[in-house]
């Protein structure tokens, strides 16, 4: 959002994070990028009533324990602390009865229920303001694990995201629901973390994201994102281009990594060691990870530039990056 949005709304921000626990707030780090949005209590309460009724149709206790724990751990890393209560003051008997359903949940299931309730409340804000709600992947994995893909996926962690969405799409086929897989543009964050020197504290990472907008790669990225947002022929062409470059990146990386073979196909790459300065026998180390020289060599020598090269660079960073949560935790804790 920092890299692509001109302004970012902070909706009841201090209900989400404890002001006293933060050395630096996002408002201080990005003072000219943010706009504060406060939701009045009466509106919040009315929307929460509807959210409680919807949440009562789910049963967080049926989620795999490992998947639930993984989602909660991801949020704990960043100090996310909005845990709305599982009851609401209401004269509506149905709402009161719905709230009572959560009293029998164990501690972990209650934590998951609060996390899901927060998402439903924000969904209500989006409906009331007639805006689009982009659901966090952490929440959407849990929602789908309780509904459309229930019983099909054992682990609801980030590594199972593709399987969860595919199972949900299959389950929704034939219903009055429109689904489609977007050939999405690559995420910005792995690309920023792959640059040297890597940001080592939050202010550096945010500065890097702001500067990204004005780089050549960033300008091409913004052009792609805006075309997709506007939909139409240009959007489909951008999505196709991104998908092709993603596939090419997977194919090139497959021999040097543990990528899922179903996501990539073998690609023979013949290189003479003297061309890239490889010492004799160095090939044996490539199985341990994606060698930096390959990323540099490949991206500098393949044809096409501009949007093609931008997608290649970013997909290479995305697919070869490891331990994203741990890297972010180290950056965050440095503050």
Secondary element (H or E) of residue 317: helix 307-320
pLDDT of residue 48: 92
For the chain, the structural domain boundaries read 39-172, 189-333
Which one, of 188, 321, 298, 322, lies nearest residue 245 by Cα? Answer: 298
Predicted TM-score (pTM) of the model is 0.66
Do the beta carbons of residue 22 and residue 91 sit within 8 Å? no
Torsion angle, CA of 150/155/159/163, rounded to 10 degrees?
-30
Residue 212's nearest CA partner among 235, 183, 189 is 189
Per-residue confidence of the chain (335 residues) as pLDDT tens digits?
888 888 888 887 777 666 676 666 777 778 788 888 888 889 989 999 999 998 998 888 877 777 777 778 777 776 777 888 888 888 888 888 888 888 888 888 888 899 889 889 988 888 888 877 777 777 877 887 777 666 665 666 666 666 777 777 777 777 666 666 655 788 888 888 887 788 888 888 888 988 998 888 899 999 888 888 787 788 888 888 888 888 877 777 776 665 554 554 433 333 334 434 444 444 333 333 445 545 554 455 555 567 888 888 888 888 776 667 677 777 877 76
Q: How crowded is residue 106: how many other Cβ atoms within 10 Å of its Cβ? A: 11
Element (H, E) at 241: helix 233-253
Confidence at residue 270, expressed as pLDDT on a 0 to 100 scale? 39
Q: Report CA 61 to chain centroid distance, whole Å.
A: 24
Number of C-beta neighbours around residue 138 at 10 A: 19
Beta-bridge partner residues of 8: 34
DSSP 91-129: S-HHHHHHHHGGGGS-HHHHHHHHHHHHHHHHHHHHHHH
């Amino acid at each position: 959002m920092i890299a692509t949005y001109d302004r970012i709304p902070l909706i009841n921000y201090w209900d989400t994070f404890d002001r006293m626990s933060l050395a630096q707030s996002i408002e201080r780090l990005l003072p000219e990028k943010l706009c504060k949005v406060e939701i009045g209590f009466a509106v919040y309460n009315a929307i929460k009533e509807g959210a409680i009724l919807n949440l009562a149709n789910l049963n967080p206790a049926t989620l795999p324990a490992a998947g639930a724990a993984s989602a909660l751990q991801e949020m704990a890393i960043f100090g996310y602390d909005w845990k709305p209560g599982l009851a609401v003051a209401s004269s509506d008997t149905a709402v009161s009865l719905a709230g009572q359903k959560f009293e029998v949940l164990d501690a972990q299931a209650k934590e998951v229920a609060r996390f899901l309730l927060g998402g439903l409340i924000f969904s209500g804000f989006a409906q009331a303001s007639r805006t689009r709600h982009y659901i966090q992947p952490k929440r959407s994995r849990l929602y789908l694990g309780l509904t459309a893909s229930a019983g099909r996926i054992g682990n609801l962690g980030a590594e199972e995201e593709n399987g969860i969405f595919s199972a949900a799409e299959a389950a929704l086929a034939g219903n009055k629901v429109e689904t489609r897989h977007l050939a999405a543009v690559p995420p910005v964050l792995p690309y920023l973390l792959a640059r040297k020197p890597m940001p080592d504290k939050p202010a550096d990472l945010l500065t890097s994201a702001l500067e990204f907008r004005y780089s050549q790669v960033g300008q091409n990225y913004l052009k792609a994102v805006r075309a997709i947002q506007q939909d139409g022929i240009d959007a489909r062409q951008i999505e196709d281009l991104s998908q092709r470059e993603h596939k090419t990146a997977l194919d090139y990386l497959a021999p040097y990594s543990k990528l899922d073979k179903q996501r990539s196909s073998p690609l023979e790459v013949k290189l003479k060691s003297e061309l890239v300065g490889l010492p004799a026998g160095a090939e044996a180390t490539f199985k341990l990870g994606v060698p930096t020289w390959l990323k540099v060599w490949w991206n500098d020598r393949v044809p096409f530039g501009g949007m093609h090269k931008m997608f290649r660079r970013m997909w290479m960073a995305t697919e070869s990056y490891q331990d994203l949560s741990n890297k972010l935790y180290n950056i965050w804790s440095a503050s």
